[in-house]
Chain A
């Protein structure tokens, strides 16, 4: 029971992080019908930007914990959004209406570029996040001691997802995003500036991804320059599980994948944890490629 409760909370926290990254994949796919391969690297970039803000600027220690977290979150979201905009501007926009292979290869090139840029700027070794960011206390839950950090990560991801849900469903811009995802041509006829919608999506998605990077740094305490590839693939799996292009689906898929991974690591094998995730990806694509909540666009895979 102890293992179960610990892994349940761990899975929920990690799943929340996967969900935040998966949202970036799914939003871009919804509008552009394109898998943004470089999204995982934007997530890693966010983690390193957070590291720089926290450690190099000496935020932790000089200002209060709450203020440090808020400043870091805001700065990282801003810079990640900027990186996302640059990515769209440099790697996707010039391609125009060319074929799918070009877009995929361009995205791959951008991903390689970002990963190596991170390595050259911050170095190839592991970087440690400040350990004293959150007080090292535990909360009681179902008779078990749960670290505060775990609850904080889960709460943060839930709050962000609720905000995003509100943005997509209750604002004019959100309505434009939904309309462009359903039918770009019709959206244009209704006077929606689809170009602007694409830019918005490339700002919001990477901002969420960058924030998830900071959360990984805070949660695990260390970051690595090539973590974007692994987390990117996992978050993509989460987006597929929920039905790619489907925003609530990405949230559910992320949480589900976090739970599968946590329980798989605890009850099956820790060493095979990542392999379990990729097997889930293959099984889902073979059995139900449209995901649990169905892909938003009716297109044959």
Chain B
């Protein structure tokens, strides 16, 4: 079997897998497991957006739950106070998260890796404390906001788990496609360069601070969108859902799966969010296992389970043979 047939075979295998996956609700999967898959999908999208920041730009960002929270609360406030439909509020959720990212990250974007990590943890805590303290009298304190409406798409009201399944995984597929294009653009290459060698990137004329900030904003906007979906699926949000551990879970998905690779991130989401559901009795020990797994991974396979492949470029016909 030649390499091309093998590649084609792998492609069709993946396509068939995706089709079977999409047919799962029709194949009689229970509501409980659909909810689990919805959760996996939501975290997968969050991790895909974090992947731009952590996997491509190489910034140790552990405050993603803060942007997720801003998106969810923006949606909830617009929906319950102004009666906006969820899908109308969604763009504003993204914009709010993006603006928040610019405001908090612009002064700290130049910090070296581990310092950035500490500061972003601090930002998550500040956001959570602000939400608990009912900031601006809008967030409802530690009880949160209740009674968020279900999303309505072209007159169809999305209520049941299987409806959300298609909404979330459709959104995940769209995110993968868009982020794939982003990765393979001039912009994505610049981010990779910054990750590999910031000084050299700056020497090549890349404005590293601006690229890093824009990567953070792209990730934040996307997390804000997911926040909107989350708010309308849960119908009730409270500060407890946006704590430090949510950020840790997103971080782990990207690192364990393979930072910089979408397939790795998807696998990570299934492992970190989905797998513990299979072992419900061991629920309390799951973080213990993940902590140990992180240490082991860093010792034996620091690049993650499915690391990104090195890029190949084919030479143009005219140059073939001239350069080895």
- List the interface of chain A (C-beta within 8 A of B): 34-35, 90-91, 94-95, 98-106, 108-117, 119-120, 229, 233, 236, 240, 271-272, 274-275, 278-279, 281-282, 285-286, 289, 300-301
B36 on the A face (CB < 8 A): no
- Residues in chain B near residue A120, CB distance under 8 A: 284-285, 288
Interface string of B94-123 (1 = CB under 8 A from A): 000000000000011011111101110111
Question: For residue B60, which residues in chain A have a CB less than 8 angstroms away from its CB?
Answer: 101, 104
7 A-B pairs with CB atoms under 8 Å apart are A35-B115, A95-B299, A109-B293, A116-B288, A274-B125, A278-B125, A282-B123
B107 touches A274 (CB 8 A): no
Contacts of A233 in B (CB 8 A): 118, 121-122, 125
Name A283's closest neighbour in chain B (CB-CB).
Answer: B107
Give the docked Cα–Cα distance between A113 and B132 (Å): 28
Contacts of B107 in A (CB 8 A): 282, 286
Residue interface mask B301-317, A partner, CB < 8 A = 1: 01000000000000000
Q: Looking at the complex, which one of A106, A115, A271, A285 makes contact with B119 (CB distance below 8 Å)?
A: A285
Question: For B112, what are the chain A residues with a Cβ–Cβ distance below 8 Å?
Answer: 300-301
Q: Which residues of A contact B285 (CB under 8 A)?
A: 116, 120
CA distance A236 to B118 in the complex (A): 8
Whether B295 lies near A289 (C-beta < 8 A) is: no
Q: Please, which residues of chain A bring their CB within 8 A of the CB of B110?
A: 301
**Given the complex of chains A and B, what is the CA–CA distance between A37 and B226 in angstroms?**
29
Collect the chain A residues with CB atoms within 8 Å of residue B251's CB.
108
A90 and B288 contacting across the interface, CB-CB below 8 Å: no
What is the 8 Å Cβ interface bit string for chain B, positions 125-142, against chain A (1 contact, 0 not)?
110011011000000000
Instruction: Please name all residues of chain A whose beta carbon is closer than 8 Å to the beta carbon of B57 when the two chains form the complex.
Output: none
Q: Which residue of B lies closest to A113 (CB)?
A: B291
**Contacts A105-B298, A109-B295 known; A278 to B114 CB distance under 8 Å?**
no
Name the contact of B291 in the complex, choosing from A95, A102, A103, A112 (C-beta under 8 A). Answer: A112
A286 close to B248 (CB less than 8 A) = no
Q: Does B255 contact A (CB under 8 A)?
A: yes
B201 adjacent to chain A (CB < 8 Å): no
Min CB–CB distance B123 → chain A (angstroms): 7
Bound CA–CA A272/B131 (angstroms): 11
Q: Does B287 contact A (CB under 8 A)?
A: yes
With a cutoff of 8 Å between Cβ atoms, the chain A residues found around residue B298 in the complex are 95, 98, 102-103, 105-106, 109
> CB within 8 A of A35: which of B118, B123, B248, B292?
B118
**Chain B residue with minimal CB distance to A300?**
B112
Q: Which residues of B contact A109 (CB under 8 A)?
A: 290-295, 297-298
Q: Is B244 part of the contact surface with A, judged by Cβ < 8 Å?
A: yes
- A116–B287 Cα distance when bound, in Å, is 7
Query: Chain A: which residue is nearest B60 at the CB level?
Result: A104
Query: Once the chains bind, are A106 and B295 in contact (CB under 8 Å)?
Result: yes
Which chain A residue shows the least CB distance to B124? A278
Which residue of chain B is the closest to A244 with respect to CB atoms?
B115
Binding site secondary structure of chain A: helix
A156–B132 Cα gap in the complex (Å)? 35
How far apart are the CA atoms of A112 and B252 in the complex, in Å?
A: 11
Q: How many residues of B contact A (CB 8 A)?
A: 40
User: Does B111 lie within 8 Å of A289, measured CB to CB?
Assistant: yes
C-alpha gap A203/B73 in the complex (Å): 45
Contacts beyond the supplied A108-B248, A117-B288: 19 A-B pairs with Cβ under 8 Å: A35-B114, A35-B115, A35-B118, A101-B113, A101-B302, A102-B298, A102-B302, A104-B117, A109-B291, A112-B290, A113-B288, A116-B285, A233-B122, A240-B115, A274-B125, A279-B126, A281-B122, A282-B108, A300-B112
Let me know if A104 and B113 touch, CB within 8 A: yes
Task: Give Cα distance in the complex from A115 to B286, angstroms.
Answer: 12
Q: Pick from B111, B287, B291: contact of A110, CB below 8 A.
A: B291
The answer to whether B115 touches A289, judged by C-beta atoms less than 8 angstroms apart, is: yes
Nearest-Cβ distance from residue A241 to partner chain B, whole angstroms: 13
- State in angstroms the CA–CA spacing of A289 and B118 once bound together: 13
Chain A nearest Cβ from B116, distance in angstroms: 9
Known: A281-B122, A300-B112. A112 touches B248 (CB 8 A): yes
Q: In this complex, what residue of B is CB-closest to A287?
A: B107
Q: Which residues of B contact A34 (CB under 8 A)?
A: 114
Determine how close the nearest CB of chain A comes to the CB of B300; give it in whole angstroms.
Answer: 9
Q: Which listed residue, A111, A275, A300, touches B130 by the CB 8 Å rule?
A: A275
Q: How far is the CA of A275 from the CA of B298 in the complex (A)?
A: 32
A114 to B290, CA, bound (A): 11
Q: Is the CB of B118 within 8 A of A281?
A: yes
Whether B126 and A275, one on each chain, are in contact in the complex, defined by CB atoms closer than 8 angstroms, is: yes
Flag if B302 contacts A112 (CB, 8 Å): no
The residues of A that contact B125 with a CB separation of less than 8 Å are: 233, 274-275, 278
- Which residues of B from 226 to 279 have beta carbons under 8 Å from A? 244, 248, 251, 255
- Smallest CB–CB gap between A123 and chain B, Å? 10
Query: Of A99, A108, A279, which is in contact with the most chain B CB atoms at under 10 Å from its CB?
Result: A108
Bound form: Cα–Cα A285–B251 in Å: 23
For A33, give the chain B residue with the smallest CB separation. Answer: B114
| CA A98 to CA B301, docked complex, whole Å | 12
CB pair A108 B294 closer than 8 Å: yes
State whether B123 touches A301 (Cβ < 8 A): no
